[in-house]
Chains A and B, each alone.
Chain A
Amino acid sequence: MTLLDFARGPALEWALIIFVAGSLWRLVGAWLVRREADLSAPRSESTAAGGVRTVFSRFWPRKEFQSKTVYAWVLAYVMHIGLAIVVFLFTPHILFIEGLLGISWPGVSNDFVMFAGAVTIASMVALLVRRLTTPYLKAISNVDDYISWLLTLLPVVTGMMAYAHIGGPYPTVLALHILSVDLMLVWFPFGKLFHAILWVPSRAQLGAAMQRRGVKA
Chain B
Amino acid sequence: MTVNMEMFKQFAEMLPRLGDNAQPPQMTDAERVSTAKETFIRKLNGRMAIDLESCIHCGHCASACHYFVGTDDPKYVPIRKLDLLKRVYRRELSPLRWLHRLYTHDITVKELQECQELVYDSCTECGRCSMVCPMGINIAGMVNVMRQGMANAGMIPAELMAMEQEQGGHESLFGVGPEQMKGAIMKLQESGLDIPLDKEKADILITTSVIDILLFTDGLIATARIMNHLGLDWTLRSDGYEAANFGLLSGYERVQKAASERIIAAANACGAKTVIIPECGHAYPSMRWEAANEHGGPLPFEVLAISEFLGREVKSGRLKLNALGRSRKVTFHDPCKLARHSGTIEEPRWVLDALGVDFREVESSKELNWCCGGGAGVFLINSAADLRQKAFQIKINQVEKTGADSVVTACGSCRLNFLNGAMRSGWDKGIESLVELVAEALPEQQPTTH
- Asked whether, in the complex, the Cβ of A30 is within 8 Å of the Cβ of B60, the reply is no
A:138-183 near B, CB below 8 Å: 138-142, 145
CA distance A51 to B171 in the complex (A): 40
Given contacts A38-B293, A203-B136, contact A62 B368 (CB under 8 A): yes
Distance in Å: Cβ of B163 to nearest Cβ of chain A? 25
- Asked whether, in the complex, the Cβ of B299 is within 8 Å of the Cβ of A41, the reply is yes
Given contacts A39-B296, A199-B135, contact A136 B46 (CB under 8 A): no
B63 at the interface (CB under 8 A from A): yes
A:63-95 near B, CB below 8 Å: 64-65, 68-69, 72-73, 76
A:184-199 near B, CB below 8 Å: 190, 192, 194-195, 198-199
Interface size bucket, B side?
35 or more
Our pick among B53, B58, B289 for the contact of A198 (Cβ within 8 Å) is B53
B:99-158 near A, CB below 8 Å: 99, 130-138
B:75-114 near A, CB below 8 Å: 75, 77, 79-80, 93-96, 99
- Asked whether, in the complex, the Cβ of A136 is within 8 Å of the Cβ of B293, the reply is no
Task: Give the residue name and chain of the B residue nearest to A202 (CB).
Answer: B54
A102 at the interface (CB under 8 A from B): no
- Asked whether, in the complex, the Cβ of B292 is within 8 Å of the Cβ of A40, the reply is yes
B59 at the interface (CB under 8 A from A): yes
Q: Mark A34-46, 1 if CB is under 8 A from B, else 0.
A: 1110111101100
- Asked whether, in the complex, the Cβ of B296 is within 8 Å of the Cβ of A30, the reply is no
CA distance A202 to B50 in the complex (A): 6
- Asked whether, in the complex, the Cβ of B57 is within 8 Å of the Cβ of A209, the reply is no
B22 at the interface (CB under 8 A from A): no
Given contacts A41-B292, A61-B60, contact A31 B68 (CB under 8 A): no
Distance in Å: Cβ of B256 to nearest Cβ of chain A? 14
Our pick among B45, B68, B95 for the contact of A136 (Cβ within 8 Å) is B68
Task: Give the residue name and chain of the B residue nearest to A136 (CB).
Answer: B74
Our pick among B132, B288, B299 for the contact of A61 (Cβ within 8 Å) is B132
Distance in Å: Cβ of A139 to nearest Cβ of chain B? 4
Q: How many residues in A have their beta carbons less than 8 Å from beta carbons of B?
A: 57
Given contacts A136-B59, A213-B289, contact A65 B298 (CB under 8 A): no
Our pick among A64, A136, A199, A206 for the contact of B130 (Cβ within 8 Å) is A206
Task: Give the residue name and chain of the B residue nearest to A213 (CB).
Answer: B343
- Asked whether, in the complex, the Cβ of A41 is within 8 Å of the Cβ of B136, the reply is no
Our pick among B46, B132, B297 for the contact of A32 (Cβ within 8 Å) is B46
Given contacts A58-B134, A58-B136, contact A195 B289 (CB under 8 A): no
CA distance A137 to B62 in the complex (A): 9
CA distance A138 to B59 in the complex (A): 9
- Asked whether, in the complex, the Cβ of A195 is within 8 Å of the Cβ of B63, the reply is no
CA distance A206 to B46 in the complex (A): 12
Given contacts A43-B343, A65-B60, A217-B131, contact A35 B45 (CB under 8 A): yes
Our pick among A25, A62, A205 for the contact of B95 (Cβ within 8 Å) is A25
- Asked whether, in the complex, the Cβ of A69 is within 8 Å of the Cβ of B60, the reply is yes
Contacts of A213 in B (CB 8 A): 289, 341-343
- Asked whether, in the complex, the Cβ of B297 is within 8 Å of the Cβ of A145, the reply is no
Interchain pairs with CB closer than 8 A, number: 170
Interface of A is mostly: helix
CA distance A84 to B185 in the complex (A): 68
Contacts of A214 in B (CB 8 A): 342-345
A123 at the interface (CB under 8 A from B): no
Contacts of B51 in A (CB 8 A): 202, 205
A29 at the interface (CB under 8 A from B): yes
Contacts of A198 in B (CB 8 A): 50, 53-54, 135
Contacts of A54 in B (CB 8 A): 136
Ranked 9 nearest A-B pairs via Cβ? A29-B95, A214-B343, A206-B136, A139-B74, A203-B136, A68-B63, A136-B74, A33-B49, A202-B54
Jot down 17 A-B pairs with beta carbons below 8 A, ordered by A.
A30-B95, A38-B292, A39-B292, A54-B136, A58-B134, A61-B60, A64-B363, A64-B368, A65-B132, A136-B62, A140-B79, A195-B54, A202-B53, A202-B137, A205-B136, A215-B340, A217-B136
Beyond A58-B136, A214-B342, list 18 extra A-B contacts (CB 8 Å).
Answer: A30-B50, A32-B46, A33-B48, A35-B47, A39-B293, A40-B299, A73-B134, A135-B74, A136-B74, A138-B74, A139-B74, A140-B59, A140-B77, A141-B57, A142-B57, A195-B56, A205-B47, A209-B47
Task: Report A's interface with B, CB cutoff 8 A.
Answer: 25-26, 28-36, 38-41, 43-44, 54, 58, 61-62, 64-65, 68-69, 72-73, 76, 134-142, 145, 190, 192, 194-195, 198-199, 201-207, 209, 213-217
